[in-house]
């Protein structure tokens, strides 16, 4: 039987990363740490730890990069306001877990490999 091992991270998309990081700090008292640029994809992120093994990824366009040839990840270009756009979890094995969820009427959305391990 498959099981969800742990929540890895939540992805909070935004049209303006700096503005969102500032707003979240005012609201929570926690300042997100700069995560990095996703070169060639036109995005960058900032991170807030949610626990020892989980985090919130704040993902937005990177104004220091040229416009990418393809739309940015996770429809970032379409966002008019910040919002939770997806999540990532660790599960093993994955395919049966997705099938079990679908059989219970839970649409998990498109399953993708982790960007970190996908190269």
Confidence grade of residue 1 (pLDDT, cut at 50, 70, 90): low
More confident residue, 105 or 113: 105
What does the pLDDT read at residue 106? Answer: 84
At residue 47's C-alpha, the angle toward residues 111 and 83, to 5°, is 60
Q: Which two tokens stand for residue 10?
A: 């939540």
What pTM, to 2 d.p., does this model score?
0.80
Assigned domain for 103 exists? no
Residue 11 lies in a domain: yes
Q: Tell me how many domains the chain contains.
A: 1
Rounded CA-CA distance 98/116 in Å is 21
Q: Is residue 96 part of a domain?
A: no
Residue spans of alpha helices (H) in the chain: 17-28, 94-103
d(CA 84, CA 61): 15
In a domain, 44, yes or no: yes
Flag whether 45 is in a domain: yes
Let me know if residue 69 belongs to a domain: yes
User: What pLDDT digit, counting tens, does each position of 25-69 carry?
Assistant: 999 999 999 999 999 999 999 999 999 989 999 999 999 999 999
Report if residue 111 sits inside a domain: no
By residue range, what is the domain housing residue 52?
A: 7-90
The pLDDT tens digits of the residues spanning 66-107 come to 999 999 989 999 999 999 998 888 777 777 778 888 899 988
Assigned domain for 28 exists: yes
Residue 95, pLDDT score: 76
Catalogue the E-assigned strands of 29-114.
33-38, 43-49, 55-61, 83-92
pLDDT at residue number 93: 74
pLDDT of the residue at 94: 75
- What local confidence, expressed as pLDDT, does residue 49 receive? 96
Query: Is 21:28 a contact under the CB 8 Å cutoff?
Result: no
Give residue 55's pLDDT.
96
């Amino acid at each position: 039987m498959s099981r969800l091992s742990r929540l890895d991270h939540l992805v909070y998309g935004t049209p303006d990363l700096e503005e969102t990081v500032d707003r979240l700090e005012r609201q929570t008292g926690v300042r997100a740490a700069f995560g990095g640029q996703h070169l060639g994809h036109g995005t960058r992120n900032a991170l807030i730890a949610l626990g020892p093994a989980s985090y919130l990824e704040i993902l937005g366009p990177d104004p220091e990069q040229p416009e990418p040839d393809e739309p940015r990840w996770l429809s970032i270009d379409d966002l008019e306001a910040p919002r939770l756009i997806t999540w990532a979890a660790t599960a093993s094995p994955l395919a049966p877990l997705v099938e079990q969820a679908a059989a219970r009427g839970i649409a998990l959305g498109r399953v993708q490999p982790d960007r970190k391990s996908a190269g």
